[in-house]
Amino acid sequence: MKLINYLIIQIIPFLPKIFVRLVASPYIAGITDDEMLTNVKKLNDKGYDVAIDILGEHVATKEEAAEITKRYANLYDRIALQDLDANLSIKLTHIGQDLGYDLVKDNLMILIDAAKKHDNFLRLDMENSPYTSETINLYKKVFENYSNVGIVLQAYMHRSMDDIDTLANEMFNVRICKGIYVENENIAYRGYQKIRDNYIALVQRALIKGSYVGIASHDEYLIDKLYIWIKENKISTSQYEFQILHGVPMEKKLQQLIKEGNKVRVYVPYGDNWYDYSIRRLKENPKMAGYIIKNIFSKIFSR
């Protein structure tokens, strides 16, 4: 079965896009704002908070960067209008980080003002290592204007513990994830367990320092270990939340966490740029592609 799943993943990029769309559809919350907002409402009704992400990164022109910034800013209005439990999570390269510091800072300030207007929150996703230091510097800059902003640190990066030590305090809001990009071993851990161990250490250090932590992982080993530690150390439920990606099948576990008084946030990506994101997610979990394809064929053949 593992070999079949592996082969499916190798073949998927060569298949028609319509097929990839079908296989990847659980990961994407729609193409339009309206489709996505309908899905956010459904998730809220099931007890989940949401972080919205417009799919895409590395825009090539300042016009594109301005358009995405405007689209994000409008989302804060729509979230408020529809009274949704949702904030935004953006990639700085999507609002122009490759086009210069001043441009990305100006666009970021537009989003900070929009978030402020609605007392909402903005998180800066963490991209690959050439962007890490500048992302942290921009975070610090906008934090001076508005404290309802957060950042992401990646457990595979050697530097993350130092970053926690420098940044973490009672006002610091951090999502901790394993890290998705391919990084050089000079700067990033490679071993699966080594990354897990660092993940646990980072979350614990941030919580001990009084920060708010988004525990972003589907790794049940991490979720269970950290949850036990959180309970043993009497960490308040107002100091952390669990975060998962839309479409990852963990409903039973998440509903149990919500029942026990924990906040669970679903990261909801949507938009036209669904293709690259879908391939990335399917590569992360070939089993998912296998199940879905089996399902499609069993439906076709049971007609």
The residues annotated with a catalytic role in the active site are 125, 175
17/283 with CB nearer ligand FAD? 283
Residue closer to ligand FAD (CB basis): 75 or 282: 282
Report the alpha-carbon distance of residue 107 to residue 114 in Å, rounded: 11
Q: Taking the complex as a whole, how short is the minimal distance between the CB of residue 178 and ligand FAD, in angstroms?
A: 4
Residue 100 amino acid letter: G
In angstroms, give the least distance from the CB of 272 to ligand FAD: 20
Determine the 3-state secondary structure of 76 from DSSP. Answer: helix
SS (H, E, C) 243-288: EEECCCCCHHHHHHHHHCCCCEEEEEEECCCHHHHHHHHHHHCHHH
Shorter beta-carbon distance to ligand FAD: residue 37 or 174: 174
SS3 187: coil
Q: What residues line the site for ligand FAD (CB under 6 A)?
A: 125-126, 152, 154, 177-181, 216-219, 243-245, 248, 267, 281, 284-285, 288
Q: How far is the CB of 127 from ligand FAD (least distance, A)?
A: 7
Rounded to a whole number of angstroms, the minimum distance from the CB of residue 77 to ligand FAD is: 24
Q: Where are the alpha helices (DSSP H) in the chain?
A: 2-11, 17-24, 33-45, 62-81, 101-117, 132-143, 160-167, 192-208, 220-232, 251-259, 274-284, 286-301
Distances in Å between the alpha carbon of 9 and those of 121, 179, 278, 287?
Answer: 36, 20, 11, 9
216 vs 226, beta carbon nearer ligand FAD? 216
Please list, in sequence order, all residues whose beta carbon lies within 8 angstroms of the beta carbon of residue 29, skipping any fewer than 6 positions away. Answer: 35, 36, 39, 40, 246, 268, 269, 270
Q: Are 145 and 112 in contact (CB under 8 A)?
A: yes
Query: Taking the mean position of all CA atoms in its chain, how far away is CA 98?
Result: 21
CB of 107 to ligand FAD, least distance (A): 18
3-state secondary structure of 31: coil
